[in-house]
Amino acid sequence: MNHCPVFGAVGGHAYGWVYPGPIGSVLTPRMVGIDEAYLLADASTFCGRCEAVCPVRIPLPKMLHRHRVVAYEAGHGSLLARVALKMWATIAVRPAIYHRLASFKLGAWKMLAGKRGRFKSFPFASGWTASRDLPTPEGKTFQALWKARNGKVK
């Protein structure tokens, strides 16, 4: 649990279920049904850290991905979320456009957040901001950092 970046950022039982962290995001939908807990899989970044530190190598990212697929195929999520995902998929396969939009969005978020660096409320994120602030991304985009380092890992 303590190795998960999402769990580390939101902590404990932030999503209202008994079992926290990535294992809880896999177990809960299996216990109460995907219809009831389909949003839990959306909290994963699929970075694989949970699987890497698991002593028995439970494939949590793969299982969470499967939950997302099942939930999507069952039509869960708002129409807005489904349309936004389709729009993102269209842009994501066009790297030049994606990079420009990511840089623009990063700058716009920083400007709108001001010195505080957080939003108390944010359009389309009311589920998150109802109980916590939404921080703005820090620093530069990954692509900008990679380019600055000439594609080399430090």
For the CA atoms of the chain, what is the radius of gyration? 17
Gap between the Cα atoms of 42 and 145, Å rounded: 26
Q: Can you tell me which residue has the tokens 């000439």?
A: 150
pLDDT tens-digit series, residues 11-41: 656 567 777 778 888 999 999 999 999 888 8
The structural domains of the chain, with segments of one domain joined by +, span: 5-73, 95-148
Q: What are the CA-CA distances from residue 107 to residues 61, 88, 95, 116, 134 (Å)?
A: 31, 19, 18, 15, 16
Q: pTM here? A: 0.59
